[in-house]
Structure formats: structure tokens, C-alpha cells
Amino acid sequence: MSAPLTAEEEILLADFSRTVPRSTSILFHLNALFVSALPIWLFWRIQQLELNTYGIMFGIVTIISTFLLSLAYKNVKYSLKHKIAQRRHAGVTAEVMQQVADASSEKKKTVKKEKDDRVLFKKTEVADLEATHFSIFYNNALFLFLTIILSFYVLKNFSPGANYLGSSVTSACVVAFLSTSSG
């Protein structure tokens, strides 16, 4: 039987896991819901699909798209987080060392391990925030671009209901699929 994990080990494991905090998950789902619902306006106002006639289809497609976009957000965030952390290391280190130098001039000397812990914490925090925001931006832009291209060019000869269903679901599936790549 192995010994229980220390707090530092749990933080390190959480940093490398694919799970996202509850607040980030809520942010992802709300963003995905909003972006998934945008094509409803497009098809309601431009393609003349009535809300009371197509409401059930709108709801089902929005739920499917929301789930797929949330998955894509999580996948892109995970793949970007460590790349961003590596790129921001020098800047974050300089900022934290300046803060430590300012604080230690007033107090006692800070030990190297504490400095390294502060740098690691700040670097993880910055990378997490940047990866979250970029993931939302990138996936939203790709989903909306694909939806417009599919609805106005590729599926333009289909009936408006089939056009909505095909363009929204296909766009969400493509975004989710592209988010699984390790590139």
C-alpha cells in the first residue's frame, strides 16, 4: 500500500491532468451554449425558420453543439497550457524575482525553494488563464466560420431545416475533431 500524496504532489498531478476546475467548466459550458445558439438567430432571421416550428430541432442541435464545443475547449486548453508555460517562463520568472527582491529587501532572505515554488505557481496560473482564453477564442471563431461557410455555400441548396442541422452539427463535430490533434 502506498503512502498518501502530499499537497505538493496533488497540485503537480492536477497541473498535468485533463480535468478542469469547476469554474472553468462552467465558463466553457456557458460560452459554448451562447456560441451554439448564435446560428439559431441566423436561420430564424435570414432563412425564415420559425422558432415555434423548429424549436425542438434548435434545442437538440444546440445541446449537441454545446457539448462538442465544451469538449473542444477542454482539449485545446490542455494541449496549449504547457506550451504557453514554456514560452512565458522567462517573463514570469523575471517578474516573480523582482517581487521577491522587493519583498526580501524589507524582510529576511527568501530561500531558493520558495522562489522556485512562486515561479512555478505564477507560471501555471498565467498559462492556465491564457490557454483558457485562447481556447475559447479559437474554437468559437472556427465554429462560426465553418457554420457560415457550410450554410451559405456548401449546403445552400438544401432545405433550411436540413441546412441548419447539417451546418451546425458538422461544424461542431469538425471543431471537436480538430481539438483532439496533438499539434
What's residue 124's pLDDT? 78
- Please, what is the Cα angle at 173 between 171 and 179, to 5 degrees? 105
* Angstrom distance (rounded) from CA 145 to CA 140: 8
What percent of the chain lies above the pLDDT cut of 90? 55
Among 22, 20, 11, 60, which Cα is nearest to 40's? Answer: 60
Which of 18-32, 55-69, 169-183 has maximum average pLDDT? 55-69
What's residue 150's pLDDT? 97
What percent of the chain lies above the pLDDT cut of 70? 78
What's residue 147's pLDDT? 97
- This prediction's pTM: 0.82
Among 143, 126, 127, 146, which Cα is nearest to 70's? Answer: 143
DSSP string, the chain: -PPPPPHHHHHHHHHHSS---HHHHHHHHHHHHHHHHHHHHHHHHTS---HHHHHHHHHHHHHHHHHHHHHHHHHHHHHHHHHHHHHHHHHHHHHHHHHHHHHHHHSSPPPHHHHHHHHHHHHHHHHHHHHHHHHHHHHHHHHHHHHHHIIIIISTTS-HHHHHHHHHHHHHHHHHHHHT---
> For the segment 3-37, what is each residue's pLDDT rounded down to a tens digit?
777 766 666 666 666 678 898 999 999 999 999 99
> For the segment 110-153, what is each residue's pLDDT rounded down to a tens digit?
666 776 777 777 777 878 899 999 999 999 999 999 999 999 99
> For the segment 67-114, what is each residue's pLDDT rounded down to a tens digit?
999 999 999 999 888 888 777 767 766 776 777 666 665 555 566 677
What's residue 11's pLDDT? 63
- Which has more pLDDT, 104 or 177? 177
* Angstrom distance (rounded) from CA 98 to CA 5: 32
Q: Which amino acid is at 68?
A: L
Residue with cell 425558420: 49
* Angstrom distance (rounded) from CA 72 to CA 85: 20
What's residue 165's pLDDT? 96
What's residue 14's pLDDT? 63
